[in-house]
């Protein structure tokens, strides 16, 4: 009898759990714990709407400066999202690999590539544990994805002479919008220190524009 009651209890609990899944963002809100799985769920939810949330056009800084990247070179797009930058670079003749934790985003990036008649390689993975061999890329682009723990890896993934193009919002933007987690924003002039040992080719952190961002182009010596 006890065994039957126990089995009944387990099966009710399992059914309840199956019927009432907790979303990644709610789990994080309740526990304060952010894991890559939570992050994946949150981004998948965000990208589930049919429109392209960051649009289909590349970031302005990339469109203006992509020619710093060696012609026809290999490029890693970190936190590629729905592929606006990866597809733009593929159109310009680069061989692009985009890594993103969200499978929904990577699927949308393939749709975008198809729309523009180009090929990109999409990888669904967390950059925190995705393995990339040293000196794999001629260039790395990283737009609005800040993970300071990846700095040394980024340097190692670049070939000697490789180019890094990086852009993200600064803490001024956060003070204005009051959104997001503090660690997702760059400190003022932080990019200049973060990639020490690399040569700065271009740096911008304008204070007169509508949005506060910091953009840099560096070369691995
Ligand atoms: C603000 S969006 C920027 C997307 C894209 N770079 C752009 O500018 O359109 C940040 C991206 O980082 C991705 N991301 C977050 N954590 C990640 C991780 N650990 N590994 C890989 N991608 C991640 C998200 O899925 C999201 O697509």
Distance 206 CA to ligand 1 centre (A): 23
* Predicted confidence pLDDT, tens digits, the chain (221 residues): 454 444 434 443 433 333 434 444 444 454 444 567 779 999 999 999 999 999 999 999 999 999 999 999 999 999 999 999 999 999 999 999 999 999 999 999 999 999 999 999 999 999 999 999 999 999 999 999 999 999 999 999 999 999 999 999 999 999 999 999 999 999 999 999 999 999 999 999 999 999 999 999 999 99
Any atom of ligand 1 within 6 Å of the Cβ of 98 = no
pLDDT at 2: 54
pLDDT at 36: 72
- Are 112 and 63 in contact, with CB atoms under 8 Å apart? no
Any atom of ligand 1 within 6 Å of the Cβ of 142 = no
* Atom 19 of ligand 1, residue of closest alpha carbon: 126
Domains of the chain: 1-31 (no CATH), 60-219 (3.40.50.150)
**Which of ligand 1's atoms lies nearest the C-alpha of 54?**
9
* CA separation for the pair 221, 211 (Å, rounded): 31
Confidence (pTM): 0.86
pLDDT at 56: 98
């Amino acid at each position: 009898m006890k065994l039957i009651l126990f089995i009944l209890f387990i099966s009710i609990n399992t059914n309840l759990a199956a019927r009432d899944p907790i979303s990644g963002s709610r789990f994080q809100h309740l526990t304060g714990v952010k894991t890559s799985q939570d992050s994946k769920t949150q981004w998948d939810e965000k990208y589930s709407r049919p429109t392209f949330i960051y649009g289909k056009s590349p970031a302005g800084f990339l469109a203006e400066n992509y020619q710093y990247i060696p012609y026809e070179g290999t490029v890693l797009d970190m936190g590629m999202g729905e592929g606006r930058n990866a597809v733009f670079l593929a159109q310009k003749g680069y061989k692009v690999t985009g890594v993103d934790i969200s499978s929904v985003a990577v699927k949308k990036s393939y749709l975008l590539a198809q729309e523009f008649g180009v090929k990109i390689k999409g990888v669904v993975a967390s950059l925190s544990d995705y393995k990339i061999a040293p000196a794999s890329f001629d260039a790395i682009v990283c737009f609005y994805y800040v993970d300071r723990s990846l700095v040394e890896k980024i340097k190692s993934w670049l070939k000697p002479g490789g180019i890094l193009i990086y852009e993200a919002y600064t803490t001024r933007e956060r003070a204005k919008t009051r959104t997001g987690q503090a660690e997702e924003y760059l400190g003022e002039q932080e990019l200049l220190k973060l990639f020490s040992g690399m040569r700065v080719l271009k740096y911008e952190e304008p204070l007169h524009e509508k949005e506060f961002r910091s953009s840099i182009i560096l070369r691995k010596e």
